Each structure stands twice: as C-alpha cells, then as structure tokens.
Amino acid sequence: MPEPFVPKTSDVLLLIDVQNDFCPGGALAVPEGDAVVPLINRLAARFAHVVLTQDWHPPGHQSFASSHSGHAPFESIELAYGAQTLWPDHCVQGTPGADFHKDLESARGELIVRKGFRPEIDSYSAFFENDRTTPTGLTGYLRTRDFDRVFLAGLATDFCVHFSAVDAAREGFTSVVIEDACRAIDLDGSLAAAKRAMLKAGVDLISSERVLA
C-alpha cells in the first residue's frame, strides 16, 4: 500500500456540506450521499481538528432555477460573475434540508463555515465564492491556527469538494481529498473534469485506507 497519511496536530479535516438536502430524499440528492457518513465519522475520530461547511442559502437565491423564469434545474446561465449551474431550491437557511445528516458526529467540529448566504453569489468553495474573489475568511482562520494540511471529505466531489480542494492548494495548504469519503453529482462529465482540475492544482486524491491504516 502507498505511504500512509498519519494525521498530525497541524492537520485539519474539512467536512464539506454533509447536509440532508444532499442525501437521498433531499432537494439536491447526491447518489449515495448518505453512504459517506459512517466513514467520515471514523475519519474524524483520527483528526485532532475538524471544521465543517454548511451550504446556507437565503430563499430566492440566484443559484436556484426557481429564481429565473423559463429556466430549469441543471441548466447553466450567465450571471454577473460568469457561468452558473442552476439548482433545485436547496439548503435554505434554517430549514431541515440545511441541517447536517442526523448521524454525522459534528460535536467535535471547531468551526462551521456557512457559505452561499449572499443572495446574488453562489459559493461552491469553502474559501472563495463563485465570483472567485469574495473570501469566506477560512484562509485566515486556518493560517492563524497554523494548520498546514487540509484533508477534505463530503459532498459533492465535483462541486463543493472540488472547488474547496483546489482553493486550499492555491492558498498554500497541502490539500488532500479522501475520495471514498466523497460522492459526486456527476453532471455531463463533471466528476472526470473535477478530478483533472484537482490533480492539475496539485491536490492529492487518496483512499481513506491511507488515513485509517
């Protein structure tokens, strides 16, 4: 087996959007989205530090197809900052769909980063919104806490995990995606494209065995 990744105290596990709306039965269900929860709980027990993100949209958010007459979910449109995929209404602030999956052990989480709360901008990444310039503040938090490696798991591999992992690498962190602890939406080849983009950005894609070994 390739070299194990033994978690150190300067590592953080960043859990992306493990929320009801991304699980089967949710508004934007990721196939097998709930299947990552037991593995994520095992992984989290190995890390000294855990941070979670929560997709957190106001009603009528610009990323919702319902906000654009004549458009359907999964179409792409041009917004002020560029192309944006339109989604079913999901993760609306304060609704049960926006809650973490009930079996996710989130109590040890040291920070919850909410994103996508600006009505006009979507935010796939935990670091920058989809205009690619508005920061969430996470870089400053991780730097001030002296973390150097960011391990990522959660939903969805090809959107929020992908953009978060690429941004972690761009911000100067070692960025490691635990692939089997993620699930993808996979729209028109988006999973393959995301993997290429992550590898190009220098993100490591690993199996959970390498952390749990």
Residues 164 and 177: their CA atoms lie apart, in Å, by 10
Near ligand VGL by CB under 6 A: residue from 5, 47, 49, 55: 55
Question: Sign of the C-alpha dihedral, residues 128, 200, 14, 61?
Answer: positive
Near ligand VGL by CB under 6 A: residue from 11, 15, 17, 204: 17
- Taking the least distance from each CB to Zn ion, the nearer of 22 and 173 is 22
Of 102-110, 114-122, 129-137, 199-207, which part binds Zn ion (CB under 5 A)?
Answer: 114-122
Residues 112 and 157: their CA atoms lie apart, in Å, by 19
Instruction: Report the Cα 172 to chain-centroid distance in Å.
Output: 18
Q: Tell me which H or E stretch contains 141.
A: helix 138-144
Instruction: Indicate whether 159 belongs to the interface with ligand VGL (CB under 6 A).
Output: yes
Residues 99 and 56: their CA atoms lie apart, in Å, by 10
Q: Give 57's DSSP letter.
A: B
**CB 21 to Zn ion: min, Å:** 8
Near ligand VGL by CB under 6 A: residue from 5, 56, 64, 87: 87
Q: What residue ranges bind ligand VGL (CB under 6 A)?
A: 17, 22, 55, 87, 124, 155-156, 159-160
Q: What residue ranges bind Zn ion (CB under 5 A)?
A: 55, 116
